[in-house]
């Protein structure tokens, strides 16, 4: 199979090798023509090739249906211009060196253009050459350059709208991801093309100016060389060198005029499913009324004495015949388009089939979503070097490594209802957070220790509500030296998204993630999960236990310990909360390390003995606490959290095992950042200090 693959790939490699070398070889040939003297036959060959190349370029431009189908035109224009200039240099060298030998000194092509096309009269040749230069320089090239300039401006201005239209079609399900990528790529290529054409048109204008200068240099230089070096009379020298120069100029400017016309065709055409010829014929010769009016005007002119009556009347007859034929075609068109009864019934049944709703019309809600305003679209577009998508991929990967499961993919779309610089984060279709960022500035966040003030727009860090300032990038290093944390706009959104994902971890872990986690464990440790689900534990109960752990930000990476503990206690316990408590005790070392790291002495918040006894009694009797006691606990917990935060520690409340679940559910509704642990979950090698006691003060 490997040999077959190699054989299949070798022809493709051979096919593309000459294409890869075409550009460098052409450049080397052009440089060689500028430096090395060429014989007359070589000049004939190259001048003919230049004419053929220009005709091919014009025909390709005429038959192109879409501008981007000939996206290589700017570089082709550059190479063809260099080729003409190189030929001018080569022909100038041979004209000045051998022009005294006769009209064929620079080859048969130059001789033909100098004698046959202008009748051997150098005055006529100069006038014809000047007219070609004026047409090329003042009319075609100038117009094409202006159109390219305006086209580039409008294409760039319309890029955001086109991007949003593509995203809207993608979100509506009208197109798929691949089609959306293709359209975005086309939008980018279109802007690049018109920008390149705006600059490439300057090549042709420069080529026309160079043609004038080269002609003047050849005539003056030829006269000097012919008279002083070859003892020719002024009239003979003028006749010989001027005709050779005119022939050389015409043989170069006619291809230049053709390529300039091709440039004008490329930038003036409107993208349709037809080429230029079909557009012109289909739109010019489409109306019988236009033909009749034109025939009437030409016919009236044709009967005026002194006019070329025969020619005018011939055109009148042709236009009348064309109008009659078009009228007949239009009268037959409705009959051809009118459907039969069977076709009508088929169309009606097809329309009924299309309008019938199906389950494919039901759109499921995305678990995680990010909506952005239109000014933030470049941040989520890879074609515009948007970094937010890369950050989001990094967030998902880091989260999976930290928490032990892969979060759902984040669906990103634009929302025109949002402010241009706003964004919002959705969880199952409901907004859980949002904010505004300035895409042209950086956010300098004051972590509480920054010194001095910065010039910028005041704001808040959307993730942690810290005071911040939007500053210019030039102030970035200064802000860092002053103690500010400086982040780019993509990092602001990514940090906020990461924070909200961590706050809602349990809601992201569904039965689907549970099943995928089991499949992952089965591949690595098949014996561990053998007969575990559903033999020992149901999938629903297993999912609930894992969700309980994630709700309090406990990682489930140690799935081996979790499954072993559940398998041990599932026979005697079927309550998810009790099973979760047993798993937490087994994970005590990991939990302690998660919140305290490698500290041997740990500071925690505790409960006063009287309050603890009161709470244990209320729990055993299943009775409610008095409102005053509950309010006091909430108030003092807030004071304890602030005290712990000022000391740089994690706000951890350490209680007896029977109280842990009840206090966690009660207090974490008010203080989500609070961690509630039981005394069984602390590693025995740690020394515990009470930094604050609820119900008894510090």
pLDDT bucket at 9, cuts 50 / 70 / 90: very low
Check: CB of residue 489 under 8 Å from CB of residue 461: no
Q: What is the mean pLDDT of residues 136-140?
A: 68
Question: Does one domain contain both 577 and 683?
Answer: no
Please answer whether residues 674 and 644 qualify as being in contact, where contact means their C-beta atoms are separated by less than 8 angstroms. no
SS (H, E, C) 135-186: HHHHHHHHHHHHHHHHHHHHHHHHHHHHHHHHHHHHHCCCCCHHHHHHHHHH
Query: Which range is most confident: 238-247, 253-262, 455-464?
Result: 455-464
499-513: pLDDT as tens digits: 999 888 888 888 888
In a domain, 244, yes or no: yes
Same domain? 412 vs 519: no
Residues 95 and 36 in one domain: yes
Residue 345 lies in a domain: no
Whose tokens are 């982040």? That residue is 487
User: Which one of 365-369, 542-546, 620-624 scores highest in mean pLDDT?
Assistant: 542-546
pLDDT of residue 424: 93
Q: Is residue 57 assigned to a domain?
A: yes
404 & 468 share domain: yes
Is the same domain home to 60 and 112?
yes
Residue 132 lies in a domain: yes
- pLDDT, tens digit (0-9, with 9 covering 90-100), for 200-254: 666 666 776 777 777 777 777 777 777 777 777 777 776 667 777 777 777 777 7
Name the phi and psi angles at 458, rounded to 5. Answer: -70, 150
Q: Which residues contact 432 (CB under 8 A, 6 or more apart)?
A: 425, 426, 500, 504
Same-domain status, 576 and 485: no
| Residue whose entry in the numeric block shows the structure tokens 């944390």 | 485
What is the span of the domain harbouring residue 303? 287-325
The DSSP bridge partners found for residue 690 are: 604
> How far is residue 665 from each of residues 69, 590, 651, 675, measured CA to CA in Å?
64, 22, 16, 11
Give yes or no: residues 651 and 668 share one domain.
yes
Per-residue pLDDT, 15: 46
First to last CA, the chain: 76
pLDDT tens column, 105-130: 666 677 766 666 556 666 776 777 77
pLDDT of residue 546: 92
Overall domain count for the chain: 5
Quick check: is 464 in a domain?
A: yes
- pTM of the full structure: 0.50
Same-domain check for residues 489 and 572 = no
């Amino acid at each position: 199979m490997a040999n077959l693959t190699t054989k299949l790939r070798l022809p493709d490699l051979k096919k593309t090798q000459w294409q890869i070398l075409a550009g460098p070889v052409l450049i080397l040939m052009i440089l060689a023509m500028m430096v090395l003297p060429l014989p007359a036959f070589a000049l004939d060959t190259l001048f003919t090739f230049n004419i053929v190349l220009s005709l091919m370029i014009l025909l390709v431009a005429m038959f192109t249906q879409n501008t981007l189908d000939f996206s290589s035109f700017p570089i082709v224009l550059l190479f063809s211009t260099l080729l003409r200039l190189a030929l001018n240099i080569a022909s100038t060298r041979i004209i000045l060196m051998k022009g005294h030998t006769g009209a064929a000194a620079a080859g048969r092509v130059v001789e033909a253009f100098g004698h046959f096309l202008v009748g051997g009269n150098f005055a006529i040749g100069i006038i014809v050459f000047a007219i070609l230069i004026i047409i090329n320089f003042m009319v075609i090239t100038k117009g094409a350059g202006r159109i390219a300039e305006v086209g580039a401006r409008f294409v760039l201005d319309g890029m955001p709208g086109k991007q949003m239209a593509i995203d809207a079609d993608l979100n509506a399900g009208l197109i798929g991801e691949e089609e959306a990528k293709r359209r975005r790529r086309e939008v980018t290529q279109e802007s690049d093309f018109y920008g390149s054409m705006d600059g490439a048109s300057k090549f042709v204008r420069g080529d026309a100016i160079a043609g004038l200068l080269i002609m003047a240099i050849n005539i003056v230089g030829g006269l000097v060389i012919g008279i002083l070096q070859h003892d020719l009379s002024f009239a003979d020298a003028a006749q010989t060198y001027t005709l050779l120069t005119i022939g050389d100029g015409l043989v170069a400017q006619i291809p230049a005029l053709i390529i300039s016309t091709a440039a004008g065709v490329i930038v003036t055409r409107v993208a349709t499913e037809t080429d230029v010829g079909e557009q012109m014929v289909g739109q010019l010769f489409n109306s019988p009324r236009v033909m009749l009016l034109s025939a009437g005007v030409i016919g009236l002119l044709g009967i005026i004495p002194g006019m070329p009556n025969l020619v005018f009347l011939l055109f009148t007859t042709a236009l009348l015949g064309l109008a009659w034929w078009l009228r007949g075609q239009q009268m037959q068109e409705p009959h051809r388009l009118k459907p039969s009864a069977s076709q009508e019934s088929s169309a009606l049944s097809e329309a009924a089939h299309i309008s019938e709703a199906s389950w494919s019309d039901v759109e499921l809600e995305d678990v995680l979503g990010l909506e952005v305003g239109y000014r933030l679209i470049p941040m989520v577009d890879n074609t515009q070097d948007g970094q937010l998508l890369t950050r989001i991929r990094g967030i998902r990967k880091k989260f999976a490594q930290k928490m032990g499961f892969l979060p759902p993919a984040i669906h990103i779309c634009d929302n025109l209802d949002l402010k241009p610089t706003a964004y919002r984060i959705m969880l199952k279709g409901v907004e859980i957070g949002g904010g505004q960022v300035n895409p042209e500035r950086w956010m300098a966040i004051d972590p509480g220790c920054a010194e001095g003030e910065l010039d910028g727009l005041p704001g808040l860090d959307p993730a942690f509500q810290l005071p911040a300032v939007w500053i210019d990038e030039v102030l970035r290093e200064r802000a860092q030296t002053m103690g500010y944390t400086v982040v780019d706009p993509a990092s602001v959104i990514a940090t906020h998204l990461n924070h909200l994902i961590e706050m809602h971890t349990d809601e992201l872990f569904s039965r689907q993630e549970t099943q995928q986690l089991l499949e992952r464990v089965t591949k690595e440790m098949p014996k561990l999960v053998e007969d575990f689900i559903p033999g020992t534990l149901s999938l629903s109960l297993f999912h609930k236990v894992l969700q309980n752990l994630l709700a309090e930000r406990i990682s489930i990476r140690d799935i081996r310990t979790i499954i072993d503990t559940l398998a041990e206690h599932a026979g005697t316990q079927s309550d998810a909360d009790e099973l979760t408590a047993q798993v937490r005790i087994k994970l005590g070392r990991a939990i302690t390390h998660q919140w305290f790291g490698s500290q041997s002495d740990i500071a925690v918040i505790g409960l006063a003995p009287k309050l603890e006894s009161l709470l244990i009694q209320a729990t055993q009797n299943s009775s409610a606490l008095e409102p005053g006691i509950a309010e006091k606990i909430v108030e003092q917990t807030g004071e304890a959290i602030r005290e712990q935060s000022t000391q740089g520690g994690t706000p951890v409340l350490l209680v007896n095992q029977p109280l842990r679940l009840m206090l966690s559910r009660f207090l974490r509704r008010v203080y989500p950042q609070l961690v509630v642990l039981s005394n069984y979950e602390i590693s025995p090698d740690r020394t515990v200090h009470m930094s604050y006691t609820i119900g008894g003060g510090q």
